[in-house]
Amino acid sequence: MIDLNDQVVRGYLIRLVGEDGLVMIERMPEGEVTDEQIAEATEIMLNVVRRTLFIMSENKLAVCRRERDSNSGWLTYLWHLDMTDIEPQLAKEKKKLTKNLAERLDFEEDNVFYVCPDGCVRMFFNDAAESEFLCPMCGEDLVFQDNVDFTEALKKRIESISEK
């Protein structure tokens, strides 16, 4: 069983289904249940339950089985959570995050930036030169931005993610 108190798992699930979705997951009854039974047991609105179940199913974290009532012909959808696939999902998210951070690091290291001291804009060197190093919003002189602290923070973040 997956530890829902793990910060990484909680963060992933909150990003995936939101706070209400996480509450639904924590309170969900055992076994196969209908969405109406889940809503009643968890005290979460039915539309939130259905949205959460759909998202969980898309991400291979919930399984749905349907049954047809032989008398009425109505379909009943029975749900249960299957969190066995969460580790590969987390690994995929980690890889995507690392890639995005590495791309941002390359971008920051490959460019020179000028900023407005009032915080109006951040511009590439060429754009700042075209505007004669004046802020197009307020007219203040643009100043060089030393982004070494930011690039170092990105490197540390990439390193900390890679270690886990």
- Count how many Cα atoms sit within 13 Å of the Cα of residue 82 in the half-sphere of its side chain: 13
Q: How many CB atoms lie within 10 A of CB 22?
A: 20
76, 92, 86, 95: which is closest to 17 by C-alpha?
Answer: 86
130 confidence band (pLDDT: 50, 70, 90): very high
- Structure confidence at residue 1 (pLDDT): 58
Fold of 7-81: Arc Repressor Mutant, subunit A (1.10.10)
pLDDT tens digits, 35-93: 999 999 999 999 999 999 999 999 999 999 999 988 888 999 999 999 988 988 899 98
32, 78 contact by CB (below 8 A)? yes
12, 13, 56: which is closest to 35 by C-alpha?
Answer: 56
The residues near 128 (Cβ < 8 Å, ≥ 6 apart) are 114, 142
Distances (CA, A) of 156 to 32, 56, 94, 95, 113: 44, 32, 15, 16, 21
The residues near 117 (Cβ < 8 Å, ≥ 6 apart) are 140, 141, 143
- Structure confidence at residue 5 (pLDDT): 83
Instruction: Give the domain ranges of the chain.
Output: 7-81, 88-163
Q: pTM for this one?
A: 0.69
Question: Is 134's pLDDT higher than 90?
Answer: yes
